[in-house]
Amino acid sequence: MNIVTAIREEMLVPIHPAGWPFIGLFAVVSLVLGLSFEPFFWIGIPATLWCVYFFRNPERIPPLDPLAVVAPADGRILDIGIAELPPELDLPEGDWRCISIFMNVFDVHVNRSPLPGVVHNKHYVKGKFVNASLDKANENNERLAIVLDTDMPQVPKIGFVQIAGLVARRILCDVDIGDRLAAGQTYGLIRFGSRVDVWLPASVEAQVRAGQKSVAGETVLARLPQASGRRAKRKAKA
């Protein structure tokens, strides 16, 4: 790859399909109002460019490690502690670790699957639109929860939840029950500032800390334990 190709790939980042209606709306309004009153151009053009920037969907390369739990979102890690499961997550009884990622309006908002697996359950909950960085946002805010049947016998199920925020007014989820996801595969998007929680068994130790920045599809949030010898052999034979 030469330097021209590398620069072009960095600059011409793909746009998520959900963004084109907004980009078109911003551009048309800027043009119409700008023709009537020129100073509107100086407001509309930056607003349109920001909209393009917001809906960017850059290519991400997941790690080769099959035990890696990758970040579902770009943003800042809020918490990695043990928490009480929200009722909409149909996960086995026991203690669960919640790794929360907060996205501000400048982060990439395309969400990705933390592990490979099949969508077992999908549950939408109506709620409020308060600051997604608050502790109770996972109980009070509008959200969409997914339970994934993983390909890992040692951790057969995990959960991840898209949570609307103070500015966000729409959660988009492009997958349904029965769909298969690869690790790092895009599955949805939240407009315009929000949070994603990943729920793992408490025995799975986090590889990140609060305050750290994450990159969706690439940052390793945690690493699953190795499967026991008997179960690993059984899976290999299957």
Query: What pLDDT was estimated at residue 126?
Result: 84
Across the range 31-55, mean pLDDT stands at: 79
Across the range 208-212, mean pLDDT stands at: 95
Query: What pLDDT was estimated at residue 35?
Result: 77
Residues with a known catalytic role? 194
* pLDDT at position 232 over 50: no
Structure tokens at 52: 């393009």
Across the range 76-104, mean pLDDT stands at: 92
Query: What pLDDT was estimated at residue 131?
Result: 55
Check residues 39 and 167 and name the one with the higher pLDDT.
39
pLDDT tens column, 7-18: 444 456 788 777
Burial class (CB within 10 angstroms; exposed 0-12, middle 13-18, buried 19+) of 82 = exposed
Asked whether the beta carbons of 152 and 200 are under 8 A apart, the reply is: no
pLDDT tens column, 130-172: 555 556 666 667 889 999 999 888 899 999 999 886 665 678 8
Asked whether the beta carbons of 72 and 199 are under 8 A apart, the reply is: no
Query: What pLDDT was estimated at residue 4?
Result: 43
Report the DSSP beta bridge partners of residue 191. 170
Structure tokens at 171: 């959660």
Query: What pLDDT was estimated at residue 148?
Result: 97
Q: In what order do the strands lie in the sheet with 110-112?
A: 110-112, 186-191, 170-173
CATH number of the domain located at residue range(s) 68-223 in this protein: 2.70.70
Query: What pLDDT was estimated at residue 72?
Result: 96
* pLDDT at position 234 over 60: no
pLDDT band for 96, please (50, 70, 90 cuts): very high
pLDDT band for 193, please (50, 70, 90 cuts): low
